[in-house]
């Protein structure tokens, strides 16, 4: 039996797996935060004034995106794993490809989330209309 084998190897693989899942969840939350920050104040204000059932589509999108990020992370770990077992140049190439995929998929997620946010805003029921001098106005309007 090797000195590095046994339960220590399983424990370190388990910690690596947990670390990867945590990193992927943080990546998803950060991408979601980036999407909300870059959406603009008016759209965020209008989304905040939606009644609860109207926001269900956006929440389902965010939950489904978390699952998609976990799948993407699995694919990236396979890609990185194949590069690690090879030489230095293969490691650099696989790392560069992974970084490029992370950047592209984050940008794509932000764009897609903006589209979902606009669709939810257009189809949702808003609750925050205020009456000013007998006229109902949108508090989020410009």
Is 136 within a domain?
no
Q: How far apart are CA 21 and CA 33, in angstroms?
A: 18
Residue 129, pLDDT above cutoff 80: no
Is 46 within a domain?
yes
The pLDDT of residue 1 is 45
Q: Please tell me the total count of domains within the chain.
A: 1
Burial class (CB in 10 A: 0-12, 13-18, 19+), 13: exposed
Beta-sheet strands, E only, within 74-141: 130-132, 135-137
The pLDDT of residue 8 is 62
Q: How far apart are CA 109 and CA 124, in angstroms?
A: 22
User: What is the span of the domain harbouring residue 114?
Assistant: 9-124
For 4-13, write each residue's pLDDT tens digit: 555 566 667 7
The pLDDT of residue 6 is 55
Is 133 within a domain?
no
Query: What pLDDT band is residue 114 in, cutting at 50, 70 and 90?
Result: very high
Q: Indicate whether this model's pTM tops 0.85.
A: no
Q: Dihedral angle at the C-alpha atoms of 105, 109, 33, 25, nearest 10 degrees? A: -60
């Amino acid at each position: 039996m090797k000195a590095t084998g046994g339960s220590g190897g399983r424990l370190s693989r388990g910690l690596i797996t947990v670390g990867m899942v945590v990193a992927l969840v943080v990546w998803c939350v950060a991408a979601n935060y980036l999407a909300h920050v870059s959406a603009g104040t008016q759209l965020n204000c209008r989304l905040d004034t939606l009644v609860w059932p109207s926001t269900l589509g956006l929440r389902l999108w965010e939950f489904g995106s978390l699952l998609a990020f976990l799948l993407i992370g699995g694919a990236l770990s396979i890609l990185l794993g194949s590069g690690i077992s090879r030489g230095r140049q293969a490691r650099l190439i696989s790392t560069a490809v992974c970084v490029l995929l992370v950047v592209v998929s984050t940008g794509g997620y932000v764009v897609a989330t903006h589209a979902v946010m606009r669709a939810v805003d257009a189809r949702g029921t808003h609750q925050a209309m205020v009456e000013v001098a007998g006229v109902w106005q949108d508090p989020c309007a410009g």
